[in-house]
Structure 1
Amino acid sequence: MLYCGIKLTHDGCIAVIEDNRLVFSHEVEKFNNNKRYSEIPDTNFITEVLGMNGYGVSDINLYSIDGWAGLKESEVRVRSNGTELNVIVAPYREASLSADSLKTYEGNGFIIDGQSLAYTSYLHSTTHIFSTYCASPFSEKSDPCYMLVYDGGMYPRLYYFDPAQGKLENLGPLFMFMGNIYSLFSLHFKPFFNEGSGPRVDDLSVAGKVMAYIALGQVREDLIQMFGRVYEKHFSPSLEFSWTFSQEVQRQVTEQGIPHADVLASFHQYLERMLVNCLNERIRKHGRKSRYFGFVGGCSLNIKWNSAIRNSGLFDEMFVSPFTNDTGTAIGVACCERYKQTGKVRLDWSVYSGPAIVKNEPAEGWSSRNCSIHELASLLHVTQDPVVFLSGNAELGPRALGNRSILAAAVQPQMKDRMNEIKCREGYRPVSPICLEKRASMIFSPGTRDPYMLFDHKLRDEWAERIPAIRHLDGTARLQTVGPNDNERIYELLQEYERLSGIPVLCNTSANTLGSGFFPDVRSATEWNGTKYVWCDETLYEKR
């Protein structure tokens, strides 16, 4: 049985599941250097993606489309062979706590390649849940689990999922800050305040920058108490609340002359405490029916919040998927339909299920030669030059996990500045470490397995001078661990590099142009001209 899940809107994506296996999940932004968060431009794109993976439109048994804005149903506009098409899909979330979160919405007239197709649709919040639960270790035995869904357009909504009983219980919002409060609030303060556009203009790139910038500030208890007072005084269950809250805090901060870095650091901590405390209270009231927890939605890309929840002791095991943002809902909606048809939840998947790298000709002025992993390790060690590393299929989700990475030696402190410069990023932004899993606990605390860069780790003092380029201003690092079964080529590269240098760590950042998805081919990586070297599947390209 072939299930095709489709995310038409923001973070457009197409995923195909065959029985219990994820065959592929291809995001629009991973093609043609498309802009990040791109929508599906035309249903012809679906035809093309199916075709490059060996399928025709009629080969798919069931099509399912992710839900979107609206409380009863939603109308999404897309083009089909250039003609505008209105598609009715499920809402964004439930209209009430008693609403059926597993409800199937059925539709007709979805046109792909001239064929008018029937389809199903599921709530956006539910597709998020299924994307993470089905990929989690909890799904192996259909264990019940608490799931927190928190993305930009949603309050943090807690669910209890027991797939064996067919039960998805909506336990309601933990508190009344939508996920985009993190960026909307920050846009009221320097360096993120844009006087030209005003703080009401949301910016999807801000949240990651804020998470890095807060290392420059101090957490102040007086500010955390202020946030609590403003929340209590001005709270209203409306979309305007985030604006009202931020404006009032901005007014008081300006009056008192408080450094903006302190405000942002304290607000991060305020939200972190609310998450942990409200989770604890809600689960206690529910009778603490599971010790398993999944976190999904754009807010679960916040590694510090993830670590705070994991370290709280509330759960025995926590899972966040690498496609936790909206890119994962194509997988999630296909999993919803599969669950409806079969009752199965376990999904066999690989994070490297994106489009394959295209090994076309390099840009003018580049030469090429054969280059083994051993030779590449030597090049990184001897030259201290960054290398664009392209291999196999792209990663799912927003994190570069080796196959679409820029790698470099971490032994020089100036390498962080160099990596930020070639990526056109602010100087306070960190560069992530990629490390052999078997060495991670020796270098980082806790240094536990973290193959998808989703938790916070502290660099141990004795390593701070040896690999300064990956140490953030607060001493932490967004670590990726690599075991022998995670990524064969990266694992071999790290082993070879350790043999030459004594260090099992490299710098790792995403290989892309500013604001776009990963490089899809050799040509675009060499046209970019950000590095002297590009390596792709045993071939080294060097700028002459």
Structure 2
Amino acid sequence: MRICGIKLGHDGAIAVIEDERLIFCVEQEKRGNNRRYQAIDNFDAVVVDLAEHGLDPHDIDCFVIDGAWWRDGLRLVSGAEPVTLEWASYVERHPEGLLVSHDGCGLVLDGRSFPYRSYPHVTGHLTSAYCTSPFAKAGQPAFCLIWDGIIFPRLYYIDPGGARFVECLFPLIGQVYATAADHFGPYTNRSSWDDLGVAGKLMAYIALGSTDEDIITVFRNLYEERLAADAELMRHYHAESSFDSSLAAIHEFFRASALQLKAKRPEDALASFHGFLERLLILEMTSVLQRQTDFPGARNLCIAGGCGLNIKWNSALRASGLFDAVWVPPFPNDSGSAIGAACAGMAADKGFVPLEWSIDSGPALQRGDMPSEWNAVPYSLHELARILAGNKPVVFAGRAELGPRALGGRSILATATSPGMKDHLNDIKLREHFRPVAPVCLEDRAGEFFSPGKPDPYMLFDHETRAEWRDKIPAIVHLDGSARLQTIARTSPHKIAELLVEYEKLTGLPLLCNTSANLPGRGFFPDAASACRWGRVEHIWSDGLLWTKGAHG
């Protein structure tokens, strides 16, 4: 059975599952240098993605559209013709509603109309997290924490036979984190709701500050008074019935906070708010687990929703001792919602079975017309390692990975030993200098350089750079000494693993800088030609060829 999941709106994507195996997932931001978080509003994109994989809409047995909170504001068309569709809600409407579909017709693809299903948005997060997890593969149960922008953190319990809601941990919508930037720090001149990248930038910026217990006390007291209190004033907020009223309450909370924190540095206020939320998360998770004692089997945790990209919170949950194991998929935010929609269709028919999948299921590198001044020569990975050892960055281009993080498929790689390399890469990418550059490291040696240094193939947990290495690999050390580590097995078939082995032979170091290859505010380069036209990195390697401006083979 073939199921096609479709995520409309921001982070638009199309995914196809066939017989419990992911065939592909195309996030629209990874097409044609599209903007980050590119929406799908024209269903021709579905037809194109299917055709590139040898499929026609009639080859799909079931279309599933991800649920959403909005009912208008998105103009849907197929070709030039307007299309009117309905979809499921954001959150399940009753305890048994996770796999209750809203069934519709009128999905117009290539001039033909198809029926479709739609499941709640949280169902997609739940199924994408659990079905891709090692717990599903082992037939084990797991708790699943879903914390997205417009909902309180919701805890579920899931096993192959079904899923059920446990409870909300506390009354703070996920957007509260990004909204803090509207009131403190360098991003107060933009709306956090309109700029979906603010939360990630904020995670980098807080390294400039320090946690201040007096500030945390201010946030805690105002939270208890204004957001946690069971008062009539908060009735609509606690009901999560209106995003507008929820966001208004959050802004009032921060306005009151700012009045009490005038004498404090904004970076300290933001770092302290991050710490306040982390403590609240662990405290309330502990309390819930102490109350909920009727869940047999291993105590595992899956994390999904946009807040699943917060590596420090993920790490705090993993280090808390509350769980035997913690899993975060490489697409915890809405970039995984098309996969989740398809998994929801699969779960409705077969239960919560494991999905066979690969991180390298994004779009293949497209062929593009290379600029005439760029020329290519065959180049081995050993030779490429020599360029990197000579302190020259390289664009490394191949099939796109799933999710928002560059994991070696569409990356700029560079030596980590150069003191100026981090600033150089941020200059190349026109980014703020406080933004970190991630390391990619051979898995079997990661513990030498990082703590805990556990396998982390998707950059989803926080690691401390060991003190004795911070001055030796400064380009990948964040301002607070941490690193957003990516590990890769020495035996992986991915070319970046082979490159790291060659670089290790030359330098003794098994790691490199890894940052995304893209235009500012755009998705990963879809082809080597785009990287050449961009021209801010001298060397571009793809499919065994090294492209260099003005060089001749």
Taking structure 2 as the reference length, what is the TM-score of the superposition? 0.94
Give 1:76 deviation, angstroms: 5.7
Counterpart in the other structure of 2:448: 442
SS where residue 88 of structure 1 aligns? coil
Counterpart in the other structure of 1:48: 48
Counterpart in the other structure of 2:87: 89
Report the number of matched residues: 532
Counterpart in the other structure of 2:218: 226
Name which of structure 1's ranges 76-85 and 366-375 shifts more when overlaid on structure 2. 76-85
1:506 pairs with 504, 507, 512, which one? 512
Give 1:530 deviation, angstroms: 1.4
2:284 pairs with 265, 278, 281, which one? 278
SS where residue 307 of structure 1 aligns? helix
Matching of residues 131-530 of structure 1 within 5 Å: 131-164=128-161, 166=162, 168-194=163-189, 202-235=194-227, 236=234, 237=237, 238-239=245-246, 240-254=248-262, 257-287=263-293, 289=295, 290-382=298-390, 384-391=391-398, 393-484=399-490, 486-530=492-536
SS where residue 111 of structure 1 aligns? strand
Distance 1:497 1:396 in 2: 26
Give 1:342 deviation, angstroms: 2.2
Give 1:200 deviation, angstroms: 7.0
Contact 1:76 1:89 in 2 (8 A): no
Matching of residues 115-134 of structure 1 within 5 Å: 115-134=112-131
Per-residue CA distance 1:217-272 (angstroms, 9 max, x = gap): 11011111111111122222241221111111111112xx1111110010000000
Distance 2:293 2:142 in 1: 13
Q: Which amino acid is 1:192 matched to?
A: Y
**Unaligned segments of structure 2, at least 5 residues:** 228-233, 238-244
Distance 2:166 2:195 in 1: 30
Contact 1:76 1:87 in 2 (8 A): no
Q: Which amino acid is 2:39 matched to?
A: E
Per-residue CA distance 1:72-126 (angstroms, 9 max, x = gap): x889641111112111000011245x35222111111111111110111100001
Give 1:359 deviation, angstroms: 3.5
Counterpart in the other structure of 2:65: 65
Displaced runs of 4 or more, over 3 A: 73-77, 199-202, 484-487
Q: Which amino acid is 1:170 matched to?
A: F
Counterpart in the other structure of 2:242: none
Distance 2:75 2:202 in 1: 33
Counterpart in the other structure of 1:25: 25
Contact 2:460 2:484 in 1 (8 A): yes
SS where residue 223 of structure 1 aligns? helix
Give 1:378 deviation, angstroms: 1.0
Name which of structure 1's ranges 477-486 and 9-18 shifts more when overlaid on structure 2. 477-486
Distance 1:58 1:502 in 2: 54
The 1:120–1:526 alpha-carbon spacing in structure 2 relative to 1, beyond 3 Å, is: same
Distance 1:414 1:269 in 2: 30
Per-residue CA distance 1:103-156 (angstroms, 9 max, x = gap): 111111111111110111100001100011000001013322110101112211
Contact 1:76 1:86 in 2 (8 A): no
Give 1:462 deviation, angstroms: 1.8
Counterpart in the other structure of 2:231: none
Give 1:343 deviation, angstroms: 2.5
Distance 1:244 1:405 in 2: 41
**Unaligned segments of structure 1, at least 5 residues:** none
SS where residue 86 of structure 1 aligns? coil
Per-residue CA distance 1:316-375 (angstroms, 9 max, x = gap): 000000011101111111111112222252101001100100243322421211111111
Contact 2:369 2:529 in 1 (8 A): yes
Distance 2:176 2:544 in 1: 45
Distance 1:201 1:302 in 2: 17
Contact 2:438 2:485 in 1 (8 A): yes
Distance 2:342 2:403 in 1: 17
RMSD (Å), alpha carbons: 1.5
Contact 2:96 2:164 in 1 (8 A): no
SS where residue 519 of structure 1 aligns? coil
Identity %: 47
Contact 1:335 1:345 in 2 (8 A): no
Name which of structure 1's ranges 5-14 and 229-238 shifts more when overlaid on structure 2. 229-238
Taking structure 1 as the reference length, what is the TM-score of the superposition? 0.95
Counterpart in the other structure of 2:240: none
Distance 2:491 2:27 in 1: 24
Distance 1:26 1:315 in 2: 33
Q: Which amino acid is 1:403 matched to?
A: G
Distance 2:214 2:455 in 1: 36
Per-residue CA distance 1:521-542 (angstroms, 9 max, x = gap): 1111111111011111101111
Give 1:288 deviation, angstroms: 6.1
Q: Which amino acid is 1:348 matched to?
A: E
SS where residue 17 of structure 2 aligns? strand
